[in-house]
Amino acid sequence: MVNVRNTHVARLPQMSDTAPRWTAGPLTRAALSIATDRFASKARKASDTPYLSHLLAVSALVMEHGGSEVQTAAGLLHDAIEDIKIPAPDLINELVTRGASEADARAVVAIVVATTDGRPDEPRDDHDWPQRKAMYLETLQAKGPHDPALLVSLADKVHNSEATLQIIRAGTTATTFYCKPGFNAKAPAQKWYYSTLANVFREKLGGNAQALPLVRRLKSAVDEIFVEVEAEAPSL
């Protein structure tokens, strides 16, 4: 038998006996179950990638950058109201039915509501895009630096922007990319929105050592995506 106690593998950080700051429990399982069921047939915008990849990635970013179990569960469900049109009370009830406590379910859904863009009962098109984005930015600006929704929103924007950056690097431009069906604003307005988001997150979370790497990643991705685009704020 090989003794691995003093080998390189045994000394790797992931082999540490340090306890995690929280342990996944009924809340995580309930949120993952809902995300898996409700987003099973949905794909990412302008691709055939399962939408669940985005939810898992956002949740992982939250988890890896200081998030609590409630924030991590909200990362899994952050698009449930906006894209699946699950009313907030129904989402609470579904979490509880699947094993979460009512207090945790309400805390998760409060974050999901805070990260929802626009009203789920209204159609979304290029005409209301400026108003929706301006309202979202105002909502973020009004939050204190310790608001739990900020990290979830930041993780969402980081994954979206880095996914876009991979497409840009593969041989297209922001101007071409944002002309594709499914996008309600062209590159100049998108640059305004994402650049403003990057500034807001730097202001709110720039002093948070755990969240700071994500703040920097968003700024870096936005700068590279829109390097040749002039920002243009849309008319509200």
Determine, yes or no, domain membership for 138: yes
pLDDT tens-digit readout, 10-63: 444 444 567 888 999 999 999 999 999 999 988 887 678 899 999 999 999 999
Mean pLDDT by 10 residues, the chain (236 residues): 42 59 95 96 82 96 97 97 94 98 98 87 72 94 97 98 96 94 91 98 97 98 96 82
Q: What is the dihedral of CA 28, 34, 36, 38, to 10 degrees?
A: -160
Determine, yes or no, domain membership for 7: no
Rounded distance between C-alpha atoms, residue 95 and residue 34, angstroms = 8
Number of domains in the chain: 1
Rounded distance between C-alpha atoms, residue 113 and residue 182, angstroms = 23
Contacts of 17 (CB under 8 A, 6+ apart): none
Q: What is the pLDDT of residue 58?
A: 98
Of 58, 49, 23, 55, the closest CA to residue 36 belongs to 55
Per the listing, tokens 């990362």 go with 75
The burial of 151, by beta-carbon neighbours within 10 Å (0-12 exposed, 13-18 middle, 19 or more buried), is given as buried
- DSSP state, residue 184: S
User: Is the four-CA dihedral 56, 42, 132, 165 of positive or negative sign?
Assistant: positive
- DSSP state, residue 146: T
Determine, yes or no, domain membership for 60: yes
Rounded distance between C-alpha atoms, residue 88 and residue 101, angstroms = 16
Q: What is the pLDDT of residue 17?
A: 63
Residues facing residue 50 across a β-bridge: 43
Determine, yes or no, domain membership for 8: no
Residue 137 domain boundaries = 26-225
Q: What is the pLDDT of residue 64?
A: 97
Determine, yes or no, domain membership for 233: no
Determine, yes or no, domain membership for 13: no
8 A C-beta contact, residue 96 and residue 128: no
- Longest Cα–Cα distance of the chain, Å, equals 71
- DSSP state, residue 50: B
Write the CATH number for 198.
Answer: 1.10.3210.10
What SS3 state is found at 179?
A: coil
Determine, yes or no, domain membership for 3: no
Q: What is the pLDDT of residue 48?
A: 83
8 A C-beta contact, residue 76 and residue 35: yes
Determine, yes or no, domain membership for 129: yes
